[in-house]
Structure 1
Amino acid sequence: MRIDVYLPLLLSLLLASVSRPAARHLAPGQAARALTLAAVVTAGATTWTLALLALTLLGDAPQVVADAREDGRALPAPVPEAVAVLALAVLAGVVLRVLRAARTARTTHRTLRRLCEGHPPGTELVVAASPRPQAFAVPGRPGRIVVTSAMLAALRPDERRVLLAHERAHLSHRHALLVGAVTLAAAANPLLVPVRRAVAYLVERWADEQAATAVGDRDITARALARAALVAHRPGCALNFSDRAVTRRVAALQTAPPPRVPLLAAAILALGALPALGAADATGDLVQLVHGLLV
Structure 2
Amino acid sequence: MNWFTFVPLALMLALGSALGRTRLPLHPSWSARLLATTGAMTAVAALGTGVFVAINYAATLAPSAAAHVPEWALFGDDAPVPGVVGIPAIVLSAAGLLVATKAAVGWLDELRTARRTQAREPLETEVPIAVAVPGKHGGVLLSKGMLRTFTAEELHVVFQHESSHLRHRHHRYAAAGALGAAVLPPLRPLNERLRLAVERWADEDAAEATGDRALVARTIAKAALARPPSAGPATAFAESGVVQRVEALLGTPPDRNAVTGPLLFMGNGFVTSSLTAVTLQLDQAAVSCMLALLALR
> For this structure pair, what is the TM-score category when the shorter chain's length is used for normalisation?
0.7 to 0.9
* C-alpha contact (below 8 Å) 1:38/1:272 kept by paired residues: yes
Alignment of 1:20-31 (within 5 A): 20-22=21-23, 24-31=24-31
Which residue pairs with 1:236 in the alignment?
A: 233
Which string of whole-angstrom CA distances, capped at 9 and with x for unpartnered residues, describes residues 164-211 of structure 1?
A: 111111111111122113322333333322222222111111110010
- C-alpha spacing 1:62/1:245, structure 2 compared with 1 (3 Å): closer
Equivalence for 2:105: 103
Structure 1: state its 5+ residue gaps. 66-74, 119-125, 285-295
Whole-Å separation in 1 of the counterparts to 2:148 and 2:62 = 72
Matched-pair contact (CA < 8 Å) for 1:52–1:283: no
- C-alpha contact (below 8 Å) 2:131/2:141 kept by paired residues: yes
The alignment's TM-score, normalised by the length of structure 1, stands at 0.81
d(CA) in 1 for partners of 2:149, 2:215: 15
SS at match of 2:241: helix
Query: Which residue of structure 1 lines up, in the alignment, with residue 242 of structure 2?
Result: 246
Aligned match for 1:175, one of 170, 175, 186: 170
Letter aligned with residue 15 of structure 2: L
CA contact (8 A) 2:220 2:237 kept: no
Decide which of 114, 117, 120 is 2:119's aligned counterpart: 117
Q: Give, in angstroms, the shift of residue 41 of structure 1.
A: 2.0
Match of 1:140 among 135, 141, 144: 135
- Using the TM superposition, give the Cα deviation of residue 127 of structure 1 relative to its aligned residue in structure 2, in angstroms: 2.2
Q: Percent identity?
A: 31
Aligned equivalent of 1:128, options 123, 126, 137: 123
Q: Is the 8 A contact 2:20 2:189 kept in 1?
A: yes
- CA drift of 1:213 comes to 0.7
Q: How many residues align?
A: 267
Q: Which amino acid in the other structure matches residue 39 of structure 2? A: A
Question: What SS does the aligned partner of 2:122 have?
Answer: strand
Cα distance, 1:3–1:110 mapped onto 2, change above 3 Å: same
CA RMSD of aligned residues (A): 2.6
Q: Any idea what SS the aligned residue of 2:181 has?
A: helix
| Structure-2 change in CA distance of 1:159 and 1:14 (3 Å) | same
Unaligned runs of 5+ residues in structure 2 are 66-76, 285-297
Higher relative contact order (CA 8 A, sep 6+): 1
For residues 9 and 221 of structure 1, the distance between their equivalents in structure 2, rounded to whole angstroms, comes to 41
Measured after TM superposition, the shift of residue 40 of structure 1 is: 1.7
Map of 2:18 onto structure 1: 17
Q: 191, 194, 209: which one pairs with 2:189?
A: 194
Distance change (3 Å), C-alpha of 1:225 and 1:90: same
The structure whose Rg is larger is 1
Q: TM-score, normalised by structure 2?
A: 0.80
